[in-house]
Amino acid sequence: MTLPIFTGWSDKMKKNRYCIAFLILIVLTGVFLALNVCAGSVSIPFTDVLKILGGQKVDSTSADIVMQIRFPRALAAAILGGGLALSGYLLQTFFHNPIAGPFILGISSGAKLVVALVMVLLLGSAIHISSMVMITAAFVGAMISMGFVLLMSRLMDQMSMLIVSGVMIGYICSAITDFIVTFADDADIVNLHNWSKGSFSGITWENVRVMAVVIFAASFCVFLMSKPISAYQMGESYARNMGLNVQLFRGLLVFFSSVLSACVTAFAGPVSFVGIAVPHLVKNLFQTSKPILMIPASFLGGAVFCLFCDLLARVVFAPTELSISTVTAVFGAPVVIFIMIHRKKEKAE
């Protein structure tokens, strides 16, 4: 009877690993949040930041920078990064494909296109655009792209072709968006131009509130779905035999992954590679693919990854800012290449 003891021991090892991994992610989130608030073209000492947050009097420029610019921006990077990673995780689950993600499948670009259209139309008539309008527009765009991708997945068995068609849809949407942005020569369009390249700048507290509500609510719902997701990982046939309503479940996966990536796109534009790289890195950190762990871990991982990338985007060539996708691509694309090589190897074995 050494066996149960042995497995008990290894279960304990695993639990320890999970705890440590979560601890690492939480600490990193905290550290990067602090760094993102402190660092920049004007660096503000951490003690001052604490004073400002505590409501003590510090010089007003610093207070404004922290409270009006950096703090909401850092929060947005964390929340949107989490949402994006989670959206990627859901899409990978849905397509049983490790390199599926909202950006690569063209879903972000679809959202971007509709948001750009709505912005140009409404800016022209000088109507204030609320966060909810943006999210709704992005969601419509995301669903349109998603519809195309689903149609493609019906027509093509090969997963690699699905990715290629997603990338093509992305290019088409981006081309149309660029066209719109180029010919809409309003002063406000400068902002639109930045946004369409992907950026966390210009986030207001109102934005943060709305995105927090939407993304936290969606993420919570996704977390509640962790059990059916674990069934779906075994393939549709087995999932069905386990009593899962596959049709409904697939619908929910599409819905939530679209909501999450739409919300991100509405505020930060298309952000590349986070959706693929983060779930993969997190899976390796935890050495498991259990949804109940992967969902919160991907969220935290996405937050850390985006905070880190946004920090670099702001600081490396300060005061010039890089677009966020430039930085995420530098760190995310190698991960994708690694996954593909690794998969090829496994197949060859």
Partner 1 sequence: MKEEFYFYTEGFTVGYHGVPLIKNIEIRLKKGEILTLIGPNGAGKTTILKSIIRQLAPIGGVVYLDGSNMHELSGRELSKKMSVVLTERVRPEMMTCKDVVATGRYPYTGKFGVLSRDDHRIVMESMELVHIAELADRDFSKTSDGQKQRVMLARAICQEPDMIVLDEPTSFLDIKYKLEFLSIIQKMSRSKNLSVIMSLHELELAERIADKIVCVKGDKVDRFGTPEEIFTPGYIPKLYQMTTGSYDELSGNLELEPVKGTPKVFVLAGAGTGTTVYRRLQREGIPFATGILWENDLDYPSAKALASEIISLKPFQPVEDAVLEHAKELIDFCQQVICTVDVGMYKDANQGLRELYDYAMQKHNM
Q: Which CB, 4 or 55, lies closer to partner 1?
A: 4
Closest distance between partner 1 and the C-beta of residue 6, in Å?
8
CA-CA distances (angstroms) from residue 32 to 36, 47, 204? 6, 16, 20
Q: Which CB, 46 or 238, lies closer to partner 1?
A: 238
Each residue 249-288 as x (binds partner 1 by CB under 8 A) or -, in order, gives: ----------------------------------x---xx
Closest distance between partner 1 and the C-beta of residue 35, in Å?
31
Answer for which of 54, 55, 243, 319 binds partner 1 (CB under 8 A) is: 243
Q: Which CB, 283 or 314, lies closer to partner 1?
A: 283
Answer for which of 127, 190, 213, 242 binds partner 1 (CB under 8 A) is: 242
CA-closest candidate to residue 37, choices 75, 81, 82: 75
Q: Which CB, 97 or 328, lies closer to partner 1?
A: 97
Which amino acid does the sequence have at 240?
Answer: R
Each residue 191-220 as x (binds partner 1 by CB under 8 A) or -, in order, gives: ------------------------------
What is the residue-wise DSSP string for 68-84?
IIIHHHHHHHHHHHHHH
b/e per residue 3-28 (b: at least 16 CB within 10 A) = eeeeeeeeeeeeeeebeebbeebeeb
CA-CA distances (angstroms) from residue 306 to 32, 47, 199, 264, 317? 9, 24, 11, 12, 17
Pick the stretch among 166-174, 228-236, 263-271, 297-305 that binds partner 1 (CB under 8 A).
Answer: 228-236
Closest distance between partner 1 and the C-beta of residue 167, in Å?
23
Answer for which of 204, 240, 318, 338 binds partner 1 (CB under 8 A) is: 240
CA-CA distances (angstroms) from residue 336 to 116, 151, 285, 287? 28, 24, 16, 18
- Alpha-carbon gap, residue 143 to 254, rounded angstroms: 8
For partner 1 (CB under 8 A), the number of binding residues is 30
Answer for which of 179, 205, 238, 317 binds partner 1 (CB under 8 A) is: 238
b/e per residue 75-87 (b: at least 16 CB within 10 A) = bbbbbbbbbbbbb
- Alpha-carbon gap, residue 190 to 50, rounded angstroms: 34
The token pair at 250 is 């697939």
Position 16 contacts partner 1 (CB under 8 A): no
Is 297 in contact with 286 (CB distance < 8 Å)?
yes
Answer for which of 25, 231, 259, 307 binds partner 1 (CB under 8 A) is: 231
**Site residues, partner 1 (CB under 8 A):** 3-4, 6-7, 10, 96, 98, 224, 226-227, 230-231, 233-235, 237-238, 240-245, 283, 287-290, 292, 346
